[in-house]
Structure 1
Amino acid sequence: MQSSSITALLSGALAGLMVDISLFPIDTVKTRLQSEAGFWKSGAFRGIYSGLGSVAVGSAPGAALFFVSYETSKMELARRSRLGTTTNHMLSSSLAEIVACLVRVPSEVIKQRSQAGQGTSLQLFKQTLSVEGLAGFYRGYASTIMREIPFSVIQFPLWELIKVHWSKQGEIEPWKSAVSGAIAGSVAASLTTPLDVAKTRIMLAQERVGNSEGIWKVLSNIYHTEGVQGLWAGVLPRVLWISIGGFIFLGVYDTAKYYLGRRSHVNNGPAENYKV
């Protein structure tokens, strides 16, 4: 594996783990607000760290896969095609989400069911495997992809664009990358909240129990039973979570990438310039 891929893998793993663990309580509140049972019946503020085990297992490899795929796609598309920069970033982030969700979705299924008060991570792992089989761990895979691709299509080009703007003033310091990530994340989070609500409902549903339909059917059901307010359930904690998460996630990623790149420069030759 090339040094640039190893750098992306290690940086992504560190960034993903730091975000998911540090902001887990906000994510739990968001999940319970989006649950069909409602915030209070799903546990309110009790057991705010329920499901943390599944995140600890799946976060690092999921984020690592994303950034390895993202950086590789960016380089290959730039080398092999005449796509514009923004289109390149959109396609690269979309491809990276499809790959990363192979690891992220099983972790997310167990995490969200635990957050909604359905059991511990280990209990839910055994229950899902025995009742739904391996397919149960990928409940909501399509809806997750349909949420993540629009999210990434908004977030990553915007993140890269803000960094380009700052690069005109000189080197992009890690804190600038972090602020860029927070801005891009908050915009993307607010616009894709209805898709996140639908994904949550699908993942929380057990085999043959409600909300096992496709994402558009679930969105329609939410709209007709709960109105527009239901589609935007949990929007505030989601935006808060992802804006802070974007600050940490993309900031830590670029910081780790920068310092690992400098080490690579010392050991193996020129490292990647810390500019877009």
Structure 2
Amino acid sequence: MLRASALFVGVYEPLKQKLLRMFPENLSAFAHLTAGAIGGIAASLIRVPTEVVKQRMQTGQFTSAAGAVRFIAAKEGFKGLYAGYGSFLLRDLPFDAIQFCIYEQIRIGYMAAVNFSSSIIICALTGAITTPLDVIKTRLMVQGSANQYNGIVDCVQTIIKEEGPSALLKGVGPRVLWIGIGGSIFFGVLEGTKRFLAERRPTPSESQPEKVK
């Protein structure tokens, strides 16, 4: 997932800066939402195949990642590695957009980096809100060629009919805990890296060549 995170940041940061220059200050939230969503789309190209393989292995269908990739590609084709792609975007685009928008708006409001505790709260809250989308995404990804569900709408209807509405919140506790801790570490590393690079960036006077006397 490091590659996916690197791709996300590589798209998000420059796009955010470009959008902030394009839109007035009172629309900064829109810039952050848009950059977060587009960053999520870029990262999904890596995240989705990784998630498909992980989910299949967690349900005991495969014992190795390489074996899972070979089997899925052979039996289901390339599209098998992107099973549930629509539901993945349905979960991750709101997640990335909301999480980064809240994070950036708090930073703007306090004119300082968000601390560890507030990062946990932001990430945990976003994780809780998007849990139903995560449940739908997982069900569609692990069904394989069985085709138990016929798309996102059918998946939601089937879950509610057979298991009740509360089934859409299955795993909310572990998800909130995991995302809260993992997200706070991610933001901490992100801000630390940005400060490190800013400190190493030469000042305008340092970057100018000395005049020949």
TM-score by length of 1: 0.69
Partner of residue 211, structure 2: none
Moved over 6 A (4+): none
2:3 maps to 61
Residue 179 of structure 2: aligned partner: 242
Which residue matches 1:206? Answer: 144
Aligned to 2:35: 92
Correspondence for 1:146: 90
Q: Which amino acid aligns with 1:95?
A: I
Once the 2 structures are TM-superposed, how far is the Cα of residue 218 of structure 1 from its aligned partner? 0.7
Q: 2:189 aligns with which of 248, 252, 259?
A: 252
Deviations 1:207-264 (A, max 9, x none): 24313x2222211111111112211000000000111111111111111221133223
Q: Compared with structure 1, are the counterparts of its residues 81 and 166 closer, same or farther at alpha carbon in structure 2 (3 Å cutoff)?
A: closer
Match of 1:16 in 2: none
Q: Does the Cα contact within 8 Å between 2:23 and 2:31 map onto a contact in 1?
A: no
Q: Deviations over 1:63-101 (max 9, x none)?
A: 111111111211111223447011111111011111110
Structure 2 matches for 1:47-126, cutoff 5 A? 59-82=1-24, 84-119=27-62, 120-126=64-70
Q: How far is the alpha carbon of 1:179 from its aligned partner?
A: 3.0
User: Structure 2 residue aligned with 1:133, among 60, 65, 77?
Assistant: 77
**TM-score normalized with structure 2 length:** 0.88
Do residues 227 (structure 1) and 164 (structure 2) align?
Answer: yes
Over the aligned positions, Cα root-mean-square deviation in angstroms equals 2.1
Give the aligned length.
Answer: 205
**Structure 1 residues without counterparts, runs of 5 or longer:** 1-58, 271-276
Deviation at 1:269, TM superposition (A): 6.2
**Contact 2:136–2:152, Cα closer than 8 Å, also in 1:** yes
Aligned ranges 1:17-28 → 2 under 5 Å: none
> Deviations 1:133-167 (Å, cap 9, x if unpaired)?
11111111111111112112321111112222332
How far apart in 1 are the matches of 2:88 and 2:140?
10
Which protein has the bigger helix share?
Answer: 2
Aligned residue for 1:117, secondary structure, equals: coil
Give the share of equivalent positions with the same residue, in percent: 36
- 5+ unaligned residues in a row in structure 2: which ranges? 208-213
> Considering only CA atoms, is the larger Rg found in Structure 1 or Structure 2?
2
Higher relative contact order (CA 8 A, sep 6+): 1
